[in-house]
Amino acid sequence: MALQLEDVNLFEDNVLIKLFRSKTDQRGKGIVVKLQTRFLKATCPMALLRAYMAIRGPSDGFLFQDSNADLLTHFQFWKVTSMALKKIGMQHCHSKLEQHPPLH
């Protein structure tokens, strides 16, 4: 969850996210993940990221941060995610997401 805002590049038709390390990147080369538009806006990663960015604002720092601009902890991230999923009636998705271990 330690992505910096500068690691995310929003374009009109896609979003590029630079990941500097992952479990499968043994040499630490990093990769770029490309998100593209989906037809269903409610599940479109680009639309959701744009909506989040509109609320978050343009200040530098962590992509996912608390009100003090500190990095969200794993617990804080899942708490906010579960509350948001419950609010939109998709709480069943939370248990499926929790089955996957977090990336460090």
Rounded alpha-carbon distances, angstroms, from residue 90 to 4, 34, 44, 53, 68: 28, 25, 15, 21, 28
Tens of pLDDT, residue by residue over 25-50, are 778 788 898 988 877 677 778 888 88
Q: What is the pTM of this model?
A: 0.66
Mean pLDDT of the chain: 79
d(CA 104, CA 3): 11
Domain regions of the chain by residue span: 1-69, 73-104
Task: Give which of 60, 61, 62, 102 is closest to 81, Cα–Cα.
Answer: 102
d(CA 98, CA 52): 21
Supply 50's token pair: 């744009």
